[in-house]
Structure 1
Amino acid sequence: MDAVDNSQKVFAAKDTDLKNIQQTIQEVSDEFDQQQQKAVSTQIALSTHYTQAVANTSVELPQQFDLAAIKILSKRILIN
């Protein structure tokens, strides 16, 4: 009977170890999924920001050049 009791105890301990390992794997997997979602969200945000910055620059820069040209021409007209 002692051998059977010992075997059952060993089996129970191994079963507990296995459950702990499975739980740890699940926790790591969940954490990985969360980090991956954060990375995708960050990538989307950066892409959106970059797209807006490029769009703003392509509109604002020509306007700034136009204003600079008008100021230069105005000064030339005033000088002449």
Structure 2
Amino acid sequence: LTILQSGTYHGDSDLQLERVDVFYNEAAGGRYVPRAILMDLEPGTMDSVRAGPFGQLFRPDNFVFGQTGAGNNWA
């Protein structure tokens, strides 16, 4: 399955397109948006995802982050 940075499907496989809704929701104009909730205590990580090549695919309200990190403390 190939989703371009614009969110459009690239390919000719009907089988792949049949199951695209497992990982993506189809938005207006045939644009596919990942079905994902991104969570982290560090806001910088989310900024990196947004600034990346596929950052525009994600819905802004699916980013959940804290105001400060945990300082690499894990429980």
- Between structure 1 and structure 2, the one with the greater Rg is 1
TM interval, short-chain normalised: under 0.3
Q: Give the TM-score taking structure 1 as reference length.
A: 0.22
**Larger helix share, 1 or 2:** 1
Q: Give the TM-score taking structure 2 as reference length.
A: 0.23
Which has the higher relative contact order, 1 or 2, with Cα contacts under 8 A spaced 6 or more apart? Answer: 2
